[in-house]
Amino acid sequence: MESEIIIETRNLGKDYFDGDRVIHALRDVNIKIARGEMVAIMGPSGSGKSTLLYVIGLLHPPTAGEYIFKGQNILEFSKEEQAHFRNRELGFVFQSCDLLANSTVFENLELPLIYGETDRNVRRGKILRALERVGLSHRVDHWSNRLSGGERQRAAIARALVNNPSLILGDEPTGQLDQKNTDIVIEQLRNIARQGFTVVLVTHEDEIGRACDRIIKIRDGQVVSDGLEVMSVKTVSMPENPKPGVSIT
């Protein structure tokens, strides 16, 4: 059975301006990513891979092309509509985790729910389900600054999952972890993809790329190879209650 296409970009471009000089960070990027795929975006420093991730995450607006998400051209949304879409449909995991140090794990995961106006009476259940997905239910009331490095990153993944988004975006999510914790985090992300979430990671590590279903390679702002032809389409179970919705490095 053919998988549903979640993301499609059509001739996507992103330019930056440095005085009279134009920097073409992305040029004519055409990719498709399916539900339940775990995809690595790879390339040398300055290739535009993080720029592409940030455009997909609606953190940076493109300057050309189309970005289709579940059949909708997201670039036609207003800024407010894009912000609500980001909160509902997208989850982010960054290299530095970005957890609030003087807050509990619960409080960190509660923030996107508060922003999304989730009823207070259902927040704890959502938080516990997200933590259970990454094996951290027992840390729900711990201070985030007392977690190990691997636990902090897994808590950040849980925070990305708490709104039950369609897409998880990671920018070098294992960049500050040792090998043991890297293996744990990548396996957690693979499990998440098996549950029907789509996972897109920027990485420079070949080992992480090989752990993904597919590698998209970027150079000088353009896609130079796409492992689409070797992609194995998986049969996935949908997550509970699924919802319909810089520096250049």
**Domain range summary for the chain, segments of one domain joined by +:** 5-230
Q: Which residues contact 132 (CB under 8 A, 6 or more apart)?
A: none
CA quadruple 152, 153, 158, 161: dihedral positive or negative? positive
pLDDT tens digits, residue range 33-72?
Answer: 999 999 999 999 999 999 999 999 999 999 999 999 999 9
Which amino acid is located at 237 in the chain?
Answer: S
pLDDT score for 174 = 86
- pTM for the full predicted model: 0.84
pLDDT score for 49 = 94
pLDDT tens digits, residue range 174-233?
Answer: 888 889 888 988 998 999 999 899 999 999 889 899 999 999 999 999 999 998 644 444
Which amino acid is located at 188 in the chain?
Answer: Q
Give, for 39, the enclosing helix (H) or strand (E).
strand 38-42
Average pLDDT score over residue span 96-110? 88
Q: Is 190 within 8 Å of 211 (Cβ atoms)?
A: yes
Please name which of 195, 199, 235, 179 lies closest in space to residue 6, comparing C-alpha atoms: 199
Across-strand partners of 67?
A: 9
Domain 5-230 has CATH 3.40.50.300: yes
Q: Is 240 within 8 Å of 209 (Cβ atoms)?
A: no
